[in-house]
Amino acid sequence: MLSKTIADRLKGFETPFYLYDIDLLRRTLRACADESSRYGYRVHYAIKANYDPRILEEIRSFGLGIDAVSGNEVRRGIECGFPARDIVYAGVGKSDKEIRYSIEQDIFAFNCESFHELEIIDGIAADMGRKVRVALRINPDVDPKTHKYISTGQADSKFGISYTEIDRIRERMPQWKNIEIVGLHFHVGSQIVDLSVFAKLCERVNELWAWFADSGFRFSYVNVGGGLGINYGDPEGEPIPDFAGYFAVFREHLHLGPGVEVHFELGRSIVGQCGELISRVLFHKTTASGKRVAIVDASMTELLRPALYQARHAIENLSGGDKRETYIIGGTVCESSDIFARDLELPVLHRGDLVSLKSAGAYGAAMASTYNLHDLPGAVYSDRLTE
Ligand code: LLP
C-alpha cells in the first residue's frame, strides 16, 4: 500500500486523515472503463461511496456518470462537472425539494422506489410543466449473501417496488402524463464477492423483463445497480477488483434482446482500495486479563464501518520493527463498539507511531461524523504530495 512506501513523508500531517492513492484510482478506473466498454455497458459511479471533489475529478475524466441518492449528491455531481444527462437518482425517500431540483437539472432518470413516489413525481412534474424520465426500481428478491445491513433486494427490505405492485402501476400508467417510464432498475446489495449472486440477479431481470414485455411495456434501458465487493483481507494481493469477471457474468447471463442499454452503479469497487485512514498511536495499556490495548487517534467518527457492520480493515504499523505484540486497537470515542481490531498481531506500537487502516476509500470519509465534537478528517492526495 502507498502509505508504507511514503511513511516518512506522512509524519508531518495532522492525524487522522485519509490518504488517497491517485495512481491506483486511475488504474482501477482504467480497468473498469476497459472491461465495461468491451460490451457497451455504461457505468455510473455511486457517489455515496466517496464524494470528495478531487476523487470525483478523476472519475469524471474516465467518462463515468453519477448514481446519486439525495438532492445534494445530484448537486455535487453537477458542481463537479458531470453532465446532468449522466446522472441517475435513486433513494426511498426523495423530498419535494430534491425532486424539483433534479427535474430542473434534467437528470437522466429518477429510479423510483414506490407507487406513491411515481404519483408524487408525476404531480410535481405536472406542476413544473415538465415530463420526467423514470426507471422502476424493482425489488428482485435475490439473496446477496452479504452483511444484512447492506442487503437491499430481498422481499421485505424497504427498497424498491415489490413485483406484487406492478399490476397496479400498469393500470395507473396511462394517467401519469408527466412521467415517461424508460426502464427498470435493480440493486441487491453491497460488498458482494460471490459472482453467482449477479448471475442470479440476471435470471430475475430476464424474467421480469419478459414479464413486462408480455404486459405491453417496451423499455430501452436497464440499470442493474452496483455491489461488486473488494478484498478487505488482502488489499495488496488484490488492489483492483475483478471487473473482467464481473461484467462477463452480465454478458453471459443477461438476455434482454438487442438495443437495450445496460447501466451499472458501482461505488466501493471504484474507490475502496485507493483510500487509507492514517492514524497515530496515542496510548497503550494492559487489561485485567493481560490483553494489550493500543488507542489510536482515529475512531468510529472517521471510519464507522467496524462499529456499524463489524467490518475488518487490514491494519499496518507504518513504523515497522521486528518485535511483535498482539493488540486490541481502540478508537477515541466513548462507545464500546469503537474498536478497529481484536487479537491483531503487529510490530510493537509506540506512542506517535503511524498506523494505516486500509481499504477505506469507500464509505470511509463519506460516513464520517462530528460525534464527540470531533473534527472531520482531512485528505491527502498522493499526486499532490511534495518530496
Ligand atoms: N446503487 C444503489 C441503489 C445503492 O444503494 C448502492 C449502495 C450502490 C448502487 C453502490 O453499491 P456498491 O457498488 O458501493 O456496493 N455503507 C456501507 C455500504 C452501503 C451501500 C449502500 N448502497 C458499507 O460501508 O459497507
Encode pLDDT of 174-186 as tens digits.
899 999 999 999 9
For 173, residues 6+ apart whose C-beta sits below 8 A from its C-beta are 181
- Averaged pLDDT, 238-252: 98
Using the atom order of ligand 1, give the atom closest to the CA of residue 272: 14
pLDDT surpasses 90 at 359 = yes
| Residue 162: band (very low, low, confident or very high) from pLDDT cuts 50, 70, 90 | confident
Count other Cβ atoms within 10 Å, centred on residue 123. 15
For 334, residues 6+ apart whose C-beta sits below 8 A from its C-beta are 372
Contact call for residues 234 and 241 (beta carbons, < 8 A): no
pLDDT surpasses 90 at 151 = no
- Averaged pLDDT, 60-89: 98
pLDDT surpasses 60 at 153 = no
pLDDT surpasses 90 at 272 = yes
| Residue 263: band (very low, low, confident or very high) from pLDDT cuts 50, 70, 90 | very high
Cα–Cα distance measured from residue 122 to residue 84, given in angstroms and rounded to the nearest whole number: 20
| Residue 261: band (very low, low, confident or very high) from pLDDT cuts 50, 70, 90 | very high
- Averaged pLDDT, 231-245: 98
Q: pLDDT tens-digit profile of 27-54? A: 999 999 999 999 999 999 999 999 999 9
Q: What is the pLDDT of residue 147?
A: 64
Using the atom order of ligand 1, give the atom closest to the CA of residue 229: 15
Among protein residues, the one whose CA lies closest to atom 3 of ligand 1: 187
Q: Which of 365, 361, 381 is nearest to 235 (CA)?
A: 361
CATH top class, domain 273-384: mainly beta
Cα–Cα distance measured from residue 162 to residue 168, given in angstroms and rounded to the nearest whole number: 11
Q: What is the pLDDT of residue 149?
A: 59
Q: pLDDT tens-digit profile of 7-25? A: 999 999 999 999 999 999 9
Contact call for residues 241 and 281 (beta carbons, < 8 A): no
Distance 281 CA to ligand 1 centre (A): 31
pLDDT surpasses 70 at 61 = yes
Taking each helix axis from N to C terminus, what angle separates 71-79 and 53-61, rounded to the nearest 10 degrees? 70
Specify the DSSP element, H or E, that contains 10.
Answer: helix 7-10
| Residue 150: band (very low, low, confident or very high) from pLDDT cuts 50, 70, 90 | low
Least confident of 18-32, 129-143, 183-197, 266-280: 129-143
Q: What is the pLDDT of residue 148?
A: 62
Distance 114 CA to ligand 1 centre (A): 19
pLDDT surpasses 70 at 135 = yes
Q: What is the pLDDT of residue 33?
A: 98
CA 379 → CA 19, 50, 230, 243, distances in Å?
6, 12, 22, 27
Residues with C-beta less than 6 Å from any ligand 1 atom: 46, 49, 67, 90, 150, 152, 187, 190-191, 225-228, 265-269, 305, 309, 362-363
Distance 251 CA to ligand 1 centre (A): 22
pLDDT surpasses 70 at 237 = yes
Quote the cell numbers at residue 102.
433534479
Give me the residue spans of the domains in the chain.
22-271, 273-384
- Averaged pLDDT, 252-271: 96
Using the atom order of ligand 1, give the atom closest to the CA of residue 268: 14
Provide the mean pLDDT of the chain.
95
Q: What is the pTM of this model?
A: 0.96
Using the atom order of ligand 1, give the atom closest to the CA of residue 49: 14
- Averaged pLDDT, 250-279: 97
Q: pLDDT tens-digit profile of 246-260? A: 999 999 999 998 899
Distance 94 CA to ligand 1 centre (A): 17
Contact call for residues 247 and 207 (beta carbons, < 8 A): no
pLDDT surpasses 80 at 155 = no
CATH topology of domain 22-271: TIM Barrel (3.20.20)
* Mutation to probe ligand 1, out of 42, 45, 159, 265 (largest number of atoms < 8 A from CB): 265
Q: What is the pLDDT of residue 21?
A: 98
Cα–Cα distance measured from residue 39 to residue 199, given in angstroms and rounded to the nearest whole number: 16
- Topology match between the domains 22-271 and 273-384: no
Phi then psi dihedrals of residue 295, to 5 deg:
-100, 125
- Averaged pLDDT, 224-232: 98
- Averaged pLDDT, 229-250: 98
Q: pLDDT tens-digit profile of 308-356? A: 999 999 999 999 889 999 999 999 999 999 999 999 999 999 999 999 9
Distance 358 CA to ligand 1 centre (A): 19
Q: What is the pLDDT of residue 143?
A: 73
* Percentage above 90 pLDDT, the chain: 87
pLDDT surpasses 60 at 227 = yes
Distance 62 CA to ligand 1 centre (A): 21
Q: What is the pLDDT of residue 249?
A: 98
Distance 257 CA to ligand 1 centre (A): 28
